[in-house]
Amino acid sequence: QKEVEQDPGPLSVPEGAIVSLNCTYSNSAFQYFMWYRQYSRKGPELLMYTYSSGNKEDGRFTAQVDKSSKYISLFIRDSQPSDSATYLCAMSPIHGSGNTGKLIFGQGTTLQVKP
Amino acid sequence: KAGVTQTPRYLIKTRGQQVTLSCSPISGHRSVSWYQQTPGQGLQFLFEYFSETQRNKGNFPGRFSGRQFSNSRSEMNVSTLELGDSALYLCASSLATLGRGGTDTQYFGPGTRLTVL
């Protein structure tokens, strides 16, 4: 079983819809949670970064972390065709010996927003 | 501020050859991590360098190696290429809060797409 599970989709929604993307994880040591967006033939771009549990909002994007359920979510409001991309969740524990510089990624969810 | 740059962007090699990929981090960033991305396995961590030292290593064979220079630029090398090494190789840089807990936000380059024939 992978440490981070993410439904690869694809997920297709109409423009303006609210999109919900999710990841589950098994390692209780994970404390930092990130969402990256990756367009075709590009590198991942950091969207959201949260520490421990709680919500964080940035424009149309909201990230939620529920450590008790080992479940994280990314919500996109008023989705646009330009949001069509692959969304990757990533996690890491607090830095310590042997785990520096390493993010554990989900498989990525491919999102298509149709005009 | 310029982002992470990687060269070359595309490479085609044949089995048995070796390849060297280059990464220039964001100015001021001291840590460089390398990842391999494939459709089947997703993004997998290769190794991380800080101050010219490898601090962390993923579960890849010894054919995969890297190094970091005093200006924080990094290279990774893959020897004796296999078909399964075809992938997008991504480099990420971060400031690195050494010894202070927390974690470091990683910023990715565009990647080098390696095709092994």
Contact status, residue B79 vs residue B45, Cβ threshold 8 Å: no
Task: Check residue B10 and give its pLDDT.
Answer: 97
Task: Determine whether the interchain pair B94/A101 forms a contact, defined as Cβ–Cβ distance below 8 Å.
Answer: yes
pLDDT in 10s for each residue of chain A, 115 residues: 789 999 888 999 999 999 999 999 999 989 889 999 999 989 999 999 888 788 999 999 999 999 999 999 999 999 999 999 999 999 988 766 567 788 999 999 999 999 9
Q: Residue B52 contacts by C-beta under 8 Å, 6 or more apart in sequence?
A: B67, B68, B69, B70
Q: CA–CA separation, B103 vs A91, rounded Å? A: 10
Q: How far is A105 from chain B (nearest CA, A)?
A: 6
Task: Check residue B85 and give its pLDDT.
Answer: 97
What would the two tokens of residue A95 be? 């830095």
Q: CA–CA separation, B45 vs B59, rounded Å? A: 8
DSSP 3-state assignment of B43?
Answer: strand
Task: Check residue B91 and give its pLDDT.
Answer: 97
DSSP 3-state assignment of B21?
Answer: strand
Task: Check residue A98 and give its pLDDT.
Answer: 64
Tally A–B CB contacts below 8 A: 80
Q: CA–CA separation, A73 vs A64, rounded Å? A: 5
Task: Check residue A8 and give its pLDDT.
Answer: 86
**Phi/psi at A43 (5° precision):** -85, 160
Q: Is B70 on the interface with A (CB under 8 A)?
A: no
Q: Per-residue DSSP letters for B69-116?
A: -TTS-EEEEE-S--GGG-EEEEEEEE---TTS-S----EE---EEEEE
pLDDT digits 0-9 by tens, B5-44 = 999 999 999 999 999 999 999 998 999 999 999 998 999 9
pLDDT digits 0-9 by tens, B59-113 = 999 999 999 999 999 999 999 999 999 999 999 998 866 555 556 789 999 999 9
Task: Check residue B64 and give its pLDDT.
Answer: 98
Which residues of chain A make contact with B55, given a CB cutoff of 8 A? 100-101
